[in-house]
Amino acid sequence: MRPIDGNTYICGLIGNPVAHTKSPAIHNFLAEKTGFNLAYGAFPVDTGRLDKAIPGAFALGIKGLNVTVPYKEEVIPFLADIDSLAEKIGAVNTLVRCENGYKGFNTDMPGLLRALERDGVDIKGEDVIILGAGGVARAAAMMLENAGASSVTIMNRNTDRAEYLAGSINEICGRSFAHPLPVSGYGRLPGDAKHIVIQATSVGMHPDTEKAVIEDPEFYKTVKVGYDLIFNPPETKFMKLCKEAGAESYNGSKMLLYQGIIAYEYWTGLSISDDLADECYAEVF
């Protein structure tokens, strides 16, 4: 057991709620294995107190913070600097201490990309479908554009939201990259094409596990890889439908792992090997 002393890097998670988080298990495992003098905890921040939490953390010398719901967008005005990808995404989940405050990064989407790569899923040149039109869908679309996907189709029950999100993404990208499509319009997808599909809604999350955004098996004939960003339950109905259609399917647990690993690398300057990442995954998940 590593001793905590006056030189320990103190890091943690802020959000509301935070009791369910796996982040302390990830970061404290990595600190133990790498021998880095770091301790990680979870700090609930009550509604309306974020403006005091960020400068308070800086005043206390906290080296780094992860940010979870509902503060990933709300935290931005309290930062000293922001990474360009996080700025494009419009959400921050990692704070790195700098001279005058914290610099904000988004490791969720690089975490998703690293998880895809570890699972052998190459998105370069691919036409990807995203189910959902919320903040997570926006972040996923920006990551895909940044990583070289050919295009993305935003499918949502509320067509107006899909159209708004696609327009916003295209304005940032400076090209026609995102295309809206109502969920009911999946029959318009090319019948002979196979897509990578990212499930970016809360549909199917515990405890309401017997639902999927699209339940018609015909849709899943167009899927070659299904990636559900939900990790509880470990196998969602979306994933089951993908498998029944012969497609590969994955949940969001590796994305959660790798967003934490990337944050840890920012804070420590270390590089976490694939072997240690696998060991951490086996321990925490």
3-state secondary structure the chain: CCCCCCCCEEEEEEECCCCCCCHHHHHHHHHHHHCCCEEEEEEECCCCCHHHHHHHHHHCCCCEEEECCCCCCCCHHHCCEECHHHHHHCCCCEEEEECCEEEEECCHHHHHHHHHHHCCCCCCCCEEEEECCCHHHHHHHHHHHHCCCCEEEEEECCHHHHHHHHHHHHHHHCCCCEEEEEHHHHHHCCCCCCEEEEECCCCCCCCCCCCCCCCCHHHHCCEEEEEECCCCCCCCHHHHHHHHCCCEEECCHHHHHHHHHHHHHHHHCCCCCHHHHHHHHHHHC
Active-site residue identified among 72, 88, 237, 254? 72
Residue 240 designated active-site:
no
Q: What are the residue numbers of the active site?
A: 72
